[in-house]
Amino acid sequence: MKKALFLDRDGIINVDKKYICRQEDFEFIDSIFELCRFFADKGFLIFIITNQAGIGRGYYTDKDFLILTEWMKEQFKLNGIIISDVYYCPHHLDYGIGKYKIDCECRKPKPGMILKIANRYDVDLVNSVLIGDKIGDIKAGESANIENNFLIKSGYQEIYDFKSVKSLLSYVKEIKI
């Protein structure tokens, strides 16, 4: 079994500017490449798991999201990092339109995306790591039995573990992951 790093996208990989679907609006978080390189060097597979209610709300399309995702993955590759896969949930029970207005198992805080990845890639969830900026991210990790869940400060909660990706990176370099 393989260890994995699960990352939320908006707020962890890029500055969360609400419903980002274009390259010109995408701004990488400081130290994200360094953090990912640290985990990759330790043999972790890297996955992005992201709620994308903007699709369900009709703000942008799956195609828009996938184009941006391919560009983002290429930026990681240019920085020496391979993103193993990106899973996203376009659904929203309250605000989704048409086929997107459902209560699915993939929308965080449910662990559906994590469990699908674990099954497909033979991931050891107990020894994996999840980094998110919302309590729902952490709840998804806990529900999937990930023991190392890290909450980064954002505008979405008052209680947080780390002020930035950089402070988390300093911490994980000191512990045995």
Residues forming the active site: 8, 10
Local structure of 12: helix, strand or coil: coil
Torsion 45-153-21-27 (CA) sign: negative
Separation between Cα atoms, residue 147 and residue 149, nearest integer Å? 6
Nearest residue to 100 (alpha-carbon basis) of 139, 52, 50, 65: 52
123 is written with which tokens? 């991931």
